[in-house]
């Protein structure tokens, strides 16, 4: 295959991170297959992490003695970068040198060089690949894995699968391969320089929506020295997995985990199937109404309103994937005020929008004038509760973390409590008819499940007892400001009616007396 000029072989880097590996490095190099160039354009690089033994000289001699048919290099870090830091250098070198795939092979002989080709191809097929010591039943123990490592690995893998929604047989193998195209999209430079770098880059791959291939490998434990503090490593692994989950829930923000799979259209999901501001709005909007949906996103609410015979005018800064969800859509930033609206509006809906605006006070004042001019009957508004119990607990712990979603969404510019959101509209002349608590959107966080339904019911009971503490959001039904000119006309008309009734009553009395 390598002699066929019409077939472009992928470029493969065999990356060997090493630290105090003088006893094993030559054996590892010698076991690298000689026929890899049949499939790949291969290069081998040892990255020594400032070893104080003769790892560097032994690696150089090994390349000469073994006579691999590939270009071979040795890098030596002047200062120790740590296990994770050394990987950063290897992966960046692979990206800079335009390799297609990089295989990490430890320099202590614990993983099988004989499986490099299969692992590299699995990574090319999936994006990333791991050699699992648990892929074959009983293989890990048969290969000499100590009991404490076996139990610890299985427990940690189970915990991580649960937290991250994965189903891998092992998380902690050091025999790994990545497409460099994938690596170039990940902020692995932000990861730890310690041993849990492997966990962090794995989380990034999962969050970015890439596939991970597993293949069973043989396990070998010899006289290599373990430099990992097991308890510290386990704590870091669980901590990073939990932080990733908290990042999803909007309770914690980690820049290195802000690598979610690319979305098309709006980032906002439909909330019409469970207790939410959307369901509250649907219940309060009469059939056949003309609705102005400010910040209508992709039109999840509009679709349901149109089923009720409503006419919906949508306004949002981002165009929806399907503009037909609205009767008319206006692409416009509400930070610039209201756009030109031609329709006669019955109800204005603004769900989870007010917290995004630069100047809510000015916008609400403009809304008040709009409602007066158009004789708007009702306005429906929702916003997050910054005094929600989870936020209070986090604040007590010294945490006030903005994230990609939730109450402390990074796009939010203003935050409200139950009182302050009501005050904002009252000061613009609106009357607050209802100010109801909304529970946490558990079905979005946990999926449609019995557990999510139970938590929703529990949260709803809590809202009845302590709404300011347990409401995730607030939903307001507002009566627009009164039109003073109209009130004057109504007052004059009322007086005229009173006079007319009085005159009619007087005439009736005179007629009765005459009779």
Give the containing element (helix H, strand E) for 47: strand 41-48
Same domain flag for 338 and 454: yes
User: For the chain, what is the largest distance between any 2 Cα atoms, rounded to a whole number of angstroms?
Assistant: 137
Kindly report the number of other CB atoms within 10 A of residue 398's CB atom: 6
Nearest to 102 by CA among 210, 175, 172: 175
Same domain flag for 106 and 205: yes
Same domain flag for 224 and 318: no
pLDDT the model gives residue 148: 75
Same domain flag for 361 and 413: yes
Same domain flag for 250 and 321: no
pLDDT the model gives residue 147: 78
Residue 38 lies in a domain: yes
Kindly report the number of other CB atoms within 10 A of residue 217's CB atom: 25
pLDDT the model gives residue 225: 55
Give the containing element (helix H, strand E) for 213: strand 211-216
pLDDT tens string 55-75: 999 999 999 999 899 999 999
Nearest to 149 by CA among 230, 241, 229, 223: 230
Same domain flag for 495 and 474: no
Residue 6 lies in a domain: no
Residue 2 has pLDDT above 70, yes or no: no
* DSSP code for 377: -
CB 197 within 8 A of CB 90: no
Residue 407 lies in a domain: yes
Q: What is the per-residue DSSP string for 31-42? A: TS-TTGGGTSEE
Query: Which residue bears the tokens 């300011």?
Result: 468
| Mean of per-residue pLDDT scores for the chain | 88
Give the containing element (helix H, strand E) for 348: strand 347-351
Residue 268 lies in a domain: no
Same domain flag for 124 and 32: yes
pLDDT tens string 260-270: 654 444 455 55
Same domain flag for 419 and 493: no
Residue 264 lies in a domain: no
Same domain flag for 79 and 190: yes
Confidence of residue 332 (pLDDT cuts 50, 70, 90): very high
Q: Indicate which CATH number applies to the domain containing 330.
A: 3.40.50.150
pTM (2 decimals)? 0.68
Instruction: Return d(Cα 236, Cα 265) in angstroms, integer.
Output: 36
Confidence of residue 222 (pLDDT cuts 50, 70, 90): low
Same domain flag for 223 and 99: yes
Nearest to 277 by CA among 347, 355, 382, 356: 382
pLDDT tens string 139-168: 566 666 777 778 888 899 899 888 888 888
Q: Indicate which CATH number applies to the domain containing 81.
A: 3.90.550.10
Q: Which residue has the higher pLDDT, 375 or 222?
A: 375
pLDDT the model gives residue 270: 56
pLDDT the model gives residue 442: 86
Residue 495 lies in a domain: yes
Residue 267 lies in a domain: no
Number of domains in the chain: 3
Instruction: Return d(Cα 112, Cα 106) in angstroms, integer.
Output: 9
Domain span at 237: 11-257
Residue 227 has pLDDT above 70, yes or no: no
Same domain flag for 132 and 149: yes
- State the pairing for strand pair 378-384/347-351: parallel
pLDDT tens string 430-482: 999 999 999 998 887 777 788 888 999 999 999 999 999 999 999 999 999 98
Residue 431 lies in a domain: yes
Count, in order, helices (H) and strands (E) of the chain: 18, 14
CB 181 within 8 A of CB 203: no
Same domain flag for 370 and 505: no
């Amino acid at each position: 295959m390598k002699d066929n000029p019409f077939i472009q072989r992928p470029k493969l880097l065999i990356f060997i991170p090493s630290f105090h590996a003088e006893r094993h490095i030559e054996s590892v190099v010698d076991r690298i297959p000689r026929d890899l160039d049949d499939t790949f354009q291969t290069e081998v690089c040892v990255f020594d992490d400032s070893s104080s033994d003769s790892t560097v000289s032994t690696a150089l001699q090994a390349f000469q003695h073994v006579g691999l048919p590939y270009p071979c290099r040795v890098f030596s870090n002047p200062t120790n970068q740590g296990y994770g830091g050394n990987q950063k250098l290897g992966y960046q070198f692979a990206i800079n040198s335009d390799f297609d795939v990089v295989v990490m092979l430890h320099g202590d002989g614990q993983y099988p060089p004989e499986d490099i080709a299969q692992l590299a191809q699995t990574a090319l097929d999936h994006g990333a690949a791991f050699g699992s010591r648990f892929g074959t039943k009983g293989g890990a123990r048969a290969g000499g894995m100590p009991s404490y490592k076996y139990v610890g690995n299985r427990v940690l893998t189970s915990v991580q699968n649960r937290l991250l929604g994965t189903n891998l047989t092992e998380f902690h193998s050091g025999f790994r391969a990545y497409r460099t195209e994938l690596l170039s999209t990940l902020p692995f430079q932000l990861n730890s320089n310690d041993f849990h770098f492997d966990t962090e880059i794995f989380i990034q791959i999962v969050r970015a929506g890439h596939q991970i291939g597993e293949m069973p490998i043989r396990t070998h434990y010899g006289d290599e020295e373990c430099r990992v503090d097991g308890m510290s490593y386990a704590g870091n692994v669980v901590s990073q997995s939990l932080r990733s989950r908290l990042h999803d829930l909007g309770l914690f923000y980690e820049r290195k985990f802000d690598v979610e799979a690319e979305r098309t259209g709006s980032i906002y999901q439909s909330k019409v199937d469970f207790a939410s501001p959307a369901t509250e709005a649907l219940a309060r909007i009469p059939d056949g109404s003309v609705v102005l949906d400010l910040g209508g996103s992709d039109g999840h609410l509009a679709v349901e309103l149109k089923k009720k015979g409503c006419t919906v005018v949508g306004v949002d800064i981002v165009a929806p994937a399907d503009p037909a969800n609205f009767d008319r859509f206006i692409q416009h930033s509400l930070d610039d005020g209201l756009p030109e609206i031609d329709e006669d509006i019955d109800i204005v809906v603004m769900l989870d929008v007010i917290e995004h605006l630069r100047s809510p006070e000015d916008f609400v004042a403009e809304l008040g004038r709009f409602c007066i001019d158009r004789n708007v009957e009702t306005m429906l508004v929702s916003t997050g509760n910054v005094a929600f119990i989870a936020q209070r607990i986090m604040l007590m712990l010294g945490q006030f973390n903005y994230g990609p979603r939730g109450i402390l969404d990074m796009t939010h510019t203003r935050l409200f409590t139950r009182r302050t959101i009501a005050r904002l509209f009252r000061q613009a002349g609106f009357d607050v008819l209802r100010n109801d608590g909304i529970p946490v959107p558990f079905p979005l966080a946990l999926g449609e499940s019995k557990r999510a339904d139970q938590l929703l019911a529990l949260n709803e009971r809590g809202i009845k007892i302590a709404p300011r503490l347990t409401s995730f959001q607030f939903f307001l039904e507002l009566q627009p400001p009164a039109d003073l000119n109209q009130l004057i006309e109504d007052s004059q008309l009322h007086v005229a009616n009173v006079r007319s009734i009085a005159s009619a009553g007087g005439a009736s009395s005179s007629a009765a007396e005459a009779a």
